[in-house]
Amino acid sequence: MKKKYLLFAVSAAYILTLLTLTRPGRGAAAPLEGSSVSGVVKFAGVAPKPTAINMSQDPLCGSGATTEDVVTDGKGDLENVVVYISDGLAGATFPVPDEPALMEQKGCQYRPHVLAMRAGQKLKVVNNDGTTHNIHPIPANNREWNVSQPKGVVVEQTFAREEISVPVKCNVHPWMKSYIAVIKNPYFAVTGKGGTFDIKGLPPGTYTLQAWHEKLGMRIQKITVGAGEAKTVEFDYK
């Protein structure tokens, strides 16, 4: 009788172990688990029209580019909005990715126009143009730097502290402007085509979700996401 119970107990333990080991999303994939918050950023009303940029001072820059301070499609979906968790992570720290964040200069414009990256992460700035640029971020909460960047030269820098967002200019080409959002947690996105964003791998909790646009300013929402919940939210500008 005793032996039978023992056999039963051992079998049950074996099955439980198997179930645990074969559950999807365990082990190395763990950081990608969790809840998510996604959605869209909208601009209500008539968006200002992009205007042509006069690049005639530098024949190596090309022509035909337009301003990017408010970029929407015909449906009011707003691009270049940084959406990030600004509060609710209770001082948690997160490893900084080894891969650098990338900003390119193409046709004498910054690509992307708005970049989001981690505090302490390496920033790699590439010059794809035939001309010399001068990359010059003007931070309020980080070390300022200002580097001449001839054709083909790669610049690498970091920003130590969170700052949303650091304006970047080029001292050679006055129309060149971009923004770098430096964020201390990994929970952020920048809206692209369609005005959408998707922040994955969030632990369940209550957070302040903030949206930042270079011309239209900040929007703030309190959100609560349950375990495994895929929350959707909308931000509205006008």
Site of interaction with Cu ion (CB under 5 A): 133, 170, 172-173, 176
Give me the least distance between CB of 109 and Cu ion, in Å please.
Answer: 9
- Helix (H) / strand (E) containing 94: none
Residue closer to Cu ion by CB (options 26, 151) is 151
**Partners of 208 in the beta sheet?**
87, 222
Question: What single string gives the DSSP state of each residue in 116-148?
Answer: EEETT-EEEEEE-SSS-EEEEE--SSS----EE
Residue closer to Cu ion by CB (options 45, 64) is 64
* Block residue for tokens 């046709």: 107
Residue closer to Cu ion by CB (options 62, 205) is 62
Residue closer to Cu ion by CB (options 55, 202) is 55
Output the six-digit token pair for 173.
Answer: 């080409």
Give me the least distance between CB of 178 and Cu ion, in Å please.
Answer: 11
Residue closer to Cu ion by CB (options 118, 133) is 133
- Helix (H) / strand (E) containing 68: none
Give me the least distance between CB of 85 and Cu ion, in Å please.
Answer: 33
User: What radius of gyration do the chain's Cα atoms show?
Assistant: 23
Neighbours of 54 (CB within 10 A): 9
**Partners of 177 in the beta sheet?**
169
Give me the least distance between CB of 106 and Cu ion, in Å please.
Answer: 11
- Residue 23, SS3 per DSSP: coil
Give me the least distance between CB of 135 and Cu ion, in Å please.
Answer: 8
